[in-house]
């Protein structure tokens, strides 16, 4: 088995923050995203950690074949959330495309969105075409198709390019289902998301417990708590490991992972 710890690439963002602990050392400039990359190879999935001190733009992503071969379906697992933290997913009620266009022109689009409170441990599935925004005071893990095609509908007056025509063309105008409900599929394994692009489970290991790793396509283990070994290599929280083949994960202390892979 080959085991590779992915490299964390930190990205400055106007809505980011300097306090990154316990995931990374605190930063001199606001960091909004950490991308986990495999040197010399582009994986079909991309894992990010997002750190927010302000709202992200209201945006939407296309599906495969709508603006290039690969679209962007994603999911979020909330790691930290301030008491008043919210995200926007879809609309409070179904609207027309004409109404959405008018709301973007007048700045009313924020009021049409369904802003929901979030807390650590929740998971949200955001398929392509879902209009969404992430609020302030959140740290989350994002698992997505490896694509960065984004159409901004609204950016609160910040001087960044908008893509209103493209966004209106692909936006789902309905109501989103909200947080997902996990389902236990094995002791210590909770199914979170299943879609045609990726499957993600929450895996919990007690101190001293080991778990066999099956061979999967683009098999990523994202440590969100704990420490231990993956085939003799030490892991800690905040790391993403690409496991090629089968092997064993062993926890030294109580540990939790998001385990994701591309379906067969």
Residues forming the active site? 152
| 194-200-37 Cα angle (round to 5) | 125
| 23-43-47 Cα angle (round to 5) | 25
> Do 73 and 61 contact (CB within 8 A), yes or no?
yes
The token pair at 219 is: 């098999």
CA distance 221 to 233: 13
The residues near 50 (Cβ < 8 Å, ≥ 6 apart) are: 32, 33, 76, 134, 138, 139, 140, 141, 142
């Amino acid at each position: 088995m080959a085991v590779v710890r992915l490299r964390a690439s930190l990205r400055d963002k106007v809505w980011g923050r300097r306090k990154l602990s316990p995931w990374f050392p605190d930063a001199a400039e606001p960091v909004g995203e950490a991308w986990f990359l495999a040197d010399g190879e582009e994986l079909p999935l991309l894992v990010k950690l997002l750190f927010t001190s302000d709202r992200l733009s209201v945006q939407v992503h296309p599906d495969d074949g709508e603006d290039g071969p690969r679209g962007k379906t994603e999911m979020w697992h909330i790691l930290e959330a301030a008491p008043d933290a919210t995200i926007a997913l879809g609309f409070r009620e179904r609207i027309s495309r004409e109404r959405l266009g008018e709301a973007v022109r007048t700045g009313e689009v924020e009021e049409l969105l369904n802003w929901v409170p979030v807390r650590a441990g929740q998971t949200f599935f955001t398929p392509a075409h879902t209009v969404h925004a992430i609020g302030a005071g959140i740290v989350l893990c994002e698992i997505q198709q490896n694509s960065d095609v984004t159409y901004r509908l609204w950016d609160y007056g910040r001087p960044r390019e908008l893509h209103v025509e493209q966004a209106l063309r692909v936006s789902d105008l309905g109501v989103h289902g909200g947080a997902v409900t996990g389902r236990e599929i094995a002791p210590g394994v909770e199914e979170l998301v299943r879609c045609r692009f990726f499957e993600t489970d929450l895996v919990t290991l007690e101190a001293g417990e080991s778990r066999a790793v099956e061979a999967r396509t683009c098999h990523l283990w994202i440590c969100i708590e704990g420490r231990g070994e993956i085939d003799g290599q030490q892991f800690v929280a905040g790391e993403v490991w690409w496991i090629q083949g089968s092997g064993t994960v062993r926890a030294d202390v109580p540990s939790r992972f998001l385990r994701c892979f591309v379906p067969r």
